[in-house]
Every structure is written in structure tokens, then in C-alpha cells.
């Protein structure tokens, strides 16, 4: 076997063959099943896109109607899941709540028949249908309110905003939210999708697959960056403070949130669409105080760091869109998960069709033949005090 060069973060190493999505990071192209993201954002809906990703072709009208109907039917949560959520601390992060609830679905739907298309379909429908209800329910319950039941007369995006805000959304807000879901639905082998694939390759249940992916998406270098962008814009505070803030980041080698990407070396095409969605919302509902700061930051970062390929990624403008839709900042990443579950499920299904368990190798850097020292003869490690401090927290 040839010994491969070690690439930290597996940069540039193909982890699988896939026909689900494609990114050209130099030209700023993203396609789902060969269709450009701009086309899907303009003409499609999120559920149509989810169907395309998971089953490989755009649904006929009849197929889409059936799929939407099944999803409406499965939106409700079992009361035991709601009871479980009541025990979660209000201060807990909604991503942790979502991960726990996604995993809990495996307790209720424990039959595992990975070679049965009806089982696959039921799992897809349940996960797409129930994740939004979980996020909205946690939001209401942590404020001490009962969750709002889903409404069968509302489509996927409108129903989520209704469950969250307890009122029917404006049609533009619902349409913009639906496009946001489409934009976040899939993105080749990113960290959370890789996590989903590794979990799927053990032939565990799809709820464990999605739960592992939700946990991975939560980190600030991945989906969690959309929250950090808003914190950063608040910290910058004004257009005049953009240059001093950036100087500080560059001097301290701090990453600027919402910028940079392993694959894109130009502005992420999703960021361009999200920026235009934000502008549509500002036109109808009023401007966001931080939009000018964001524009100036994009200008200055592109100027200073563009030579390294550092441009806005999907997380840079999504937060400004969600803020205008009245969504609290710590729900931004759970919303990313509601959308990305379509991609995770597409990769789950693709993984099952040609499965081989993931079992990479390593380059061992440790020692060999060390003696076993009896416990009474061992010295404290130099950093023992530091470790103890961490553990007691």
C-alpha cells in the first residue's frame, strides 16, 4: 500500500465519490444534482430541493404534492419528546436541545430496515418534518410557554415562522426563509456531512446519523459562525470602527467570522444571494443598523485579505436576514441544521447504496516499549494543576 502524505484537516483528500452536489471554489459555482444554486433559489422551494437532493431528480407535481402532504402529517412531536424538552435547562443552547431530540427519535422509531425504501422514506419524512417543530418548541418552552402546534394549511417555511413567532408570517418573509433553507441544504463533504457519513457507514439508525451531524455543525468554525458574525458586528458597532477592529484581528491573528472557506477562494455564491435577500427585507421592513458595518467590513477584508482568498462565506449575511425575520441569534445554527438535514439525508442514502465502513489510518507519533511504572512511583505531570482547574469547572 502506498503511504500518503498527511494532510491536516484532510484538505483536498476525496472521502467518497458523490453525485449530490458540486462546488467550484475558484469560479464561485455551487450546484445541487447539476442545477445551479441561483436557479433553485429563484424558482424552487426547499422541499422540492430536498427531494432533488435525496432522490436525485426534481419531483413531478404529483410527487411533490405527496411528499409535502406526508411532511405536513408528521410535523407534530410525541408528547414524551415535549416532556423531555421541559427538563432541559432554559440556558442550554438550542443546538444541544436539537441534537438530544434528534437522537431521541431513535427511541421512538427503533425499527431499523436500511434496505427497505419505505423505511428510508419514513425516516426522511420524519426528520424533515420534526426538526423545525423541535426548534420552535424549545424556543417557546424556554420562555415558559407551551409550544405552538404546527398548522397544516401553511407551507414548510411559513409554518416554522408561525410556530416560532405565534403569528402568520408576511409572505415575503416566508419566501425569503424558504430560500435560506434551500441555500443551506447541502454543500459537499463539509465537517457535519462527513460526520453524518462516518456514522452512517456503521449502519446505525438515521436519527443517530443526524444527531452526530447536528453536534458537528454546532462548532464556531462551521455552522456556529453565523451567530458569531452578529456578535462581531455588534462589537464593531460602527462603520468608523471597522478598520481599527480589522487591524486588531490581523495583529492578533484572529479569524474574522463569516469570512474564508476551505473550498471557496472567491465570494461564496450563497453569500451573494443572501445579501440580496437581506436587501429585499430591509426595503420592505426597514434597514438593519449593522448592514453598513457589514458592507464596510466586506470591502476592507476583501481589500486586505482578498489575496489569500478570504471573502464572505454563507454565514456572513445569513444572520442579518434572520435578525430581520425576528429570529433570536442562538437559533441561527439550529436553522442551518433544519436545512442541512436534507443534505445529510442525501449523503446517508448515498452512503448506504455503496457502503464501506470508514476506517482511516494514522501516522503514529508516540513512543514504543515504555515501562509500566507502579502508581506510587509516578510523578505529577507538569500541567497537572492546569488540568485540575479545567475539570473542576
| Cα–Cα separations (whole angstroms), residue 145 to 138, 140, 160, 163, 334 | 9, 5, 16, 12, 19
Which grid coordinates belong to 294?
Answer: 457589514
Cα–Cα distance for residue pair 79/235, rounded to 1 Å? 41
- Which residues lie near ligand CMC (CB under 6 A)? 9, 190, 221-223, 225, 255-262, 305, 308, 310, 313-315
Q: How far apart, in whole angstroms, are the C-alpha atoms of residue 183 and residue 189? A: 15
> Of all residues in this chain, which one has the CB nearest to ligand CMC in the complex?
260
Judged by beta carbon, residue 221 or residue 287, the one nearer ligand CMC is 221
User: Of the two residues 147 and 319, which places its CB atom closer to ligand CMC in the complex?
Assistant: 319
**CB of residue 123 to ligand CMC, shortest distance in Å:** 24
Nearer Cβ to ligand CMC (193/199): 193
Nearer residue to ligand CMC within complex by CB, 51 or 316: 316
Q: How far is the CB of 205 from ligand CMC (least distance, A)?
A: 25
Of the pair 142, 270, the CB lying nearest ligand CMC is at 270
Respond yes or no: is residue 93 known to be catalytic: no
Phi (first) and psi of residue 127, to 5 degrees: -70, -45
User: Position of cell 431513535?
Assistant: 106
In the chain, the DSSP E strands lie at 21-24, 29-32, 35-36
Helix (H, G, I), strand (E, B) or coil at 292: helix
Q: CA distances (Å), 282 to each of 164, 304, 325, in order?
A: 21, 28, 10
Q: For residues 75 and 133, what is the distance between their CA atoms, to the nearest angstrom?
A: 7
C-alpha 275/C-alpha 217 separation (Å) is 22
Number of alpha carbons in the 13 Å side-chain half-sphere of residue 239: 6
Smallest distance from ligand CMC to CB 240, Å: 21
Alpha-carbon distance 336 to 333, whole Å?
5
| Shortest CB 231 distance to ligand CMC, Å | 12
Question: What's the distance, Cα to Cα, between the start and end of the chain in Å?
Answer: 46
Q: Compute the least distance from the CB of residue 192 to ligand CMC, in Å.
A: 8
Q: How far is CA 273 from CA 37, 180, 224, in A?
A: 9, 9, 20
Of 178, 205, 268, 315, which residue is the catalytic one? 315
Output 80 or 255, the one with its CB closest to ligand CMC.
Answer: 255
Based on CB atoms, which residue is closest to ligand CMC, 70 or 96? 96
**What count of other Cβ atoms lies within 10 Å of the Cβ of residue 261?**
21
Residue 34 C-beta: closest distance to ligand CMC, Å: 22
Identified catalytic residue from 261, 268, 288, 347: 261
C-beta of 236: minimal distance to ligand CMC in Å?
14
C-alpha–C-alpha distance, residues 326 and 336, integer Å: 16
Query: Is 155 one of the annotated active-site residues of the chain?
Result: no
The C-alpha atoms of residue 148 and residue 133 are separated, in whole angstroms, by 9
Residues that are catalytic:
261, 315
Amino acid at each position: 500500500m502506498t503511504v500518503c502524505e498527511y494532510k491536516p484537516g484532510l484538505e483536498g483528500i476525496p472521502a467518497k465519490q458523490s453525485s449530490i452536489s458540486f462546488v467550484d471554489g475558484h469560479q464561485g459555482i455551487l450546484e445541487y444534482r447539476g442545477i445551479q444554486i441561483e436557479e433553485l433559489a429563484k424558482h424552487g422551494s426547499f422541499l422540492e430541493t430536498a427531494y432533488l437532493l435525496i432522490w436525485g431528480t426534481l419531483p413531478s407535481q404529483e410527487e411533490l404534492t405527496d411528499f409535502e402532504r406526508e411532511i405536513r402529517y408528521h410535523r407534530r412531536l410525541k408528547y414524551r419528546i415535549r416532556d423531555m424538552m421541559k427538563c432541559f435547562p432554559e440556558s442550554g443552547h438550542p443546538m444541544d436541545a436539537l441534537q438530544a431530540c434528534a437522537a431521541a427519535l431513535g427511541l421512538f422509531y427503533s425499527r431499523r430496515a436500511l434496505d427497505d425504501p419505505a423505511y428510508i422514506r419514513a425516516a426522511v419524512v420524519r426528520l424533515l418534518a420534526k426538526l423545525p417543530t423541535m426548534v420552535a418548541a424549545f424556543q417557546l418552552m424556554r420562555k415558559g410557554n407551551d409550544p405552538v402546534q404546527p398548522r397544516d394549511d401553511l407551507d414548510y417555511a411559513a409554518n416554522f415562522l408561525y410556530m416560532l413567532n405565534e403569528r402568520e408570517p408576511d409572505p415575503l418573509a416566508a419566501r425569503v426563509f424558504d430560500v435560506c433553507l434551500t441555500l443551506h441544504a447541502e454543500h459537499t463533504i463539509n465537517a457535519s456531512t462527513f460526520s453524518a457519513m462516518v456514522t452512517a457507514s456503521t449502519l446505525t439508525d438515521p436519527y443517530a446519523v443526524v444527531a452526530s451531524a447536528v453536534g458537528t455543525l454546532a462548532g464556531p468554525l462551521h455552522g456556529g459562525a453565523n451567530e458569531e458574525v452578529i456578535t462581531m458586528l455588534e462589537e464593531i458597532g460602527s462603520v468608523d470602527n471597522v478598520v481599527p477592529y480589522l487591524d486588531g484581528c490581523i495583529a492578533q491573528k484572529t479569524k474574522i467570522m463569516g469570512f474564508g472557506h476551505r473550498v471557496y477562494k472567491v465570494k461564496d455564491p450563497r453569500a451573494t444571494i443572501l445579501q440580496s435577500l437581506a436587501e429585499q427585507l430591509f426595503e420592505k421592513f426597514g434597514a438593519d443598523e449593522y448592514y453598513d458595518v457589514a458592507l464596510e467590513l466586506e470591502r476592507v477584508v476583501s481589500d486586505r485579505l482578498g489575496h489569500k482568498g478570504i471573502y464572505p462565506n454563507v454565514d456572513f449575511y445569513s444572520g442579518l436576514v434572520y435578525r430581520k425575520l425576528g429570529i433570536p441569534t442562538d437559533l441561527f445554527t439550529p436553522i442551518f441544521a433544519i436545512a442541512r438535514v436534507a443534505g445529510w439525508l442525501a449523503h446517508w442514502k448515498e452512503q448506504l447504496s455503496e457502503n464501506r465502513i470508514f476506517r482511516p489510518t494514522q501516522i503514529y507519533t508516540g513512543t514504543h516499549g515504555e515501562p509500566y511504572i507502579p502508581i506510587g512511583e509516578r510523578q505529577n505531570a507538569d500541567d497537572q494543576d492546569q488540568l485540575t482547574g479545567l475539570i473542576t469547572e
